[in-house]
Amino acid sequence: MNNKTTILVVDDDKTTASFLSTVLTSNDYRVLTISTGREALTVVSSHCPDVMLLDLGLPDMDGMEVLKAVREWSSIPIIIVSARNSDRDKANALDSGADDYVTKPFSTLELLARIRCAIRHNRKTTLGSDENSSVYNIGDLSIDYDKRIVTVCGEDVHLTQIEYKIITLLAKYSGRVLTYDFIINEIWGPFGSKDNQILRVNMANIRRKIEKNPAEPKYILTEVGVGYRMVEEIANEKKNGAF
């Protein structure tokens, strides 16, 4: 699985958006570019990007509105990339939940460093400050958060972006039952469909890829009518001929 970090670029200036896309792609990021605030709210929900680079001067709504709307439900790192350079603008954005503020024109190296910093900070927050390892292991299943690779018995598992986010969310809360609504809200946000079908389809795909027998899962269990739970430990399987 080559589950690249996804960066959403929200900027209506085609030159800037194209430049950012080129720079980020060359640095091995997956890039989504859009030009309006309403599109941003939809894409954050549907594509679950890892970082948002947000311009404040958008044609349909102010970038601050986008920032505040996303912050109502998501902790995705948001870096403001704007020509507005007053201290008041910077303070308002940071107080409203932006992780960082970069003024145009900007240094490419500095922006890349800010992105890496935001990703590291978000990973620490997600995994917990007491998390010493960037690798999660349960039975033959392994999740390498730094490399964004999932393996079973040492073999790469090819997951989609959404599938990867679901399995890491369950791993974060291993041993706890996560309700359908909780998972949907965490992955797709308030703009996602409350119909469990999309979650069930993704879960079926995940199980098909990680379970030896998807009909009898040993990693992700279903709490009927409630949600899903990642087990904390795998019971030892008896081998033929063993006592």
147 shares its domain with 223 = yes
pLDDT tens track for 64-118: 999 999 998 888 999 999 999 888 899 889 989 898 999 999 999 989 998 998 8
88 shares its domain with 182 = no
The answer to whether the beta carbons of residues 97 and 12 sit under 8 Å apart is no
Residue 18 maps to a domain: yes
Segments forming the whole domain that contains residue 191: 135-230
189 shares its domain with 206 = yes
123 shares its domain with 141 = no
Tens of pLDDT, residue by residue, the chain (243 residues): 557 899 999 999 999 999 999 999 999 999 999 999 999 999 998 888 999 999 999 999 999 999 999 998 888 999 999 999 888 899 889 989 898 999 999 999 989 998 998 887 777 666 554 444 588 899 999 999 888 899 999 999 999 989 999 999 999 888 888 888 889 988 888 766 677 888 999 999 999 999 999 999 999 999 888 889 898 876 544 333 332
Residue 154 maps to a domain: yes
Domains contained in the chain, number? 2
162 shares its domain with 212 = yes
118 shares its domain with 141 = no
The answer to whether the beta carbons of residues 88 and 99 sit under 8 Å apart is no
Domain boundary among 101, 127, 153: 127
Residue 66 sits in a domain whose CATH number is: 3.40.50.2300
Q: What is the pTM of this model?
A: 0.70
- pLDDT in the model for residue 66: 96
Please state, in angstroms and rounded to a whole number, the distance separating the CA atoms of residues 84 and 79. Answer: 13
Residue 237 maps to a domain: no
Residue 150 sits in a domain whose CATH number is: 1.10.10.10
φ, ψ of residue 235 to 5 degrees: the values are: -65, 140
110 shares its domain with 34 = yes
Domain boundary among 107, 127, 147: 127
Please state, in angstroms and rounded to a whole number, the distance separating the CA atoms of residues 195 and 95. Answer: 34
150 shares its domain with 123 = no
- pLDDT in the model for residue 179: 85
Cα separation values, 22 from 9, 15, 33, 133, 195, Å: 11, 11, 11, 32, 37
- pLDDT in the model for residue 241: 32
166 shares its domain with 205 = yes
106-113 long-range Cβ contacts below 8 angstroms, 24+ apart: 106/81, 108/23, 111/23, 111/79, 111/81, 112/23, 112/27
Residue 239 maps to a domain: no
